Amino acid sequence: MSDLVSDHVDAPESVDPTGPRLRLMAVHAHPDDESSKGAATMARYVAEGVEVLVVTCTGGERGDILNPAMDRPEVKADIGKVREQEMARARAILGVQQRWLGFVDSGFPEGDPLPPLPEGCFALEPLERAAEPLVAAVREFRPHVMLTYDENGGYPHPDHIKCHEVSVEAFEAAGDPDRYPGTGEPWQPLKLYYHMTFTKDRIVALDAAMKAAGLESPYADWLKRFDDQPPRWEVTTRVPCADHFETRDQALLAHATQIDPNGFWFAVPLDVQREAWPTEDYHLARSLVDTELPEDDLFAGVREKVSL
């Protein structure tokens, strides 16, 4: 095993926190991240009766408009509000609950030399201040399993890296009654996973499947970016969720400022994806329960504990 605010929330009134229902929390940096990483997994577990909460650290206020159809002055003028509305549509499609932590998007610094990050942004928040509302969310929702990014953020966006840091901090601190007083009764999640969405194996498989189908692969340039170094984290867990790829795509499309319906995300037909790579993949970073690797269920080892 490896090393181990906005107050808006769609409240889980029906949840008995001492009862047997499983709970999953996915922590993301911006609205739209939840739909591009792990969305089909969440949709699958929602369909199975699992309580799923997406925690969104920032409002995405500094995100670019990536869909030409949405590149309009009125959208740019109130991008934060527009992205909040997009998130509302996406969470309804996925069937998840959602909470905003209320931090300000840091933007993605570009240039040489890189410009400084803007004052007051999420990435510059001290760790304990940034983690405190997430600890409160963990203690309130009481997840058995948490999802987040690896220490590189999946890609090195400063908000994704900060999201990793606060997620690990919350996982390790929420169960300790001496830490973060005033944020609720202690609760210890049992497993923490990192998303492994864009692995070389997956991209190679999809590229080969497109070529075998006589279709133009969108991955030629992408494959050139992979080097011969082994991945930092191994895939330990592959969750079968191909039946929910269409729901994932509908949630992506709800983020209309970020997702071009004619763009890269939809270049591979769903039937090709389902055949070539029918899972979403994860690395088990922390576990307080016994489990056997590889897994095909984020709740492996947890179900037995919850049903006791």
Binding residues: 30, 33, 160
| Residues with Cβ within 8 Å of residue 101, at least 6 apart in sequence | 5, 6, 55, 56, 57, 58, 133, 134, 137
- Cα–Cα distance measured from residue 216 to residue 238, given in angstroms and rounded to the nearest whole number: 27
Cα separation, 45 vs 83, whole angstroms: 25
| Residue 249: C-alpha distances to residues 25, 84, 305 (Å) | 20, 18, 33
**Type of residue found at 193:** Y
Distance from C-alpha of 276 to C-alpha of 286, rounded to nearest angstrom: 29
Q: Residues annotated in the binding site for Zn(2+), as ranges?
A: 30, 33, 160
Beta-ladder partners of 286: 192
CB atoms within 10 A of CB 226: 14
Q: Please state, in angstroms and as integers, the Cα–Cα distance from residue 239 to each residue in 6, 19, 209, following that order.
A: 31, 25, 20
What residues have CB less than 8 Å from 12, skipping those under 6 apart? Answer: 51, 53, 97, 141
The angle that helices 79-94 and 39-47 make with each other, rounded to 10 degrees, is: 40
Q: Tell me whether the omega of the peptide bond preceding residue 269 falls within 30 degrees of 0, making it cis.
A: no
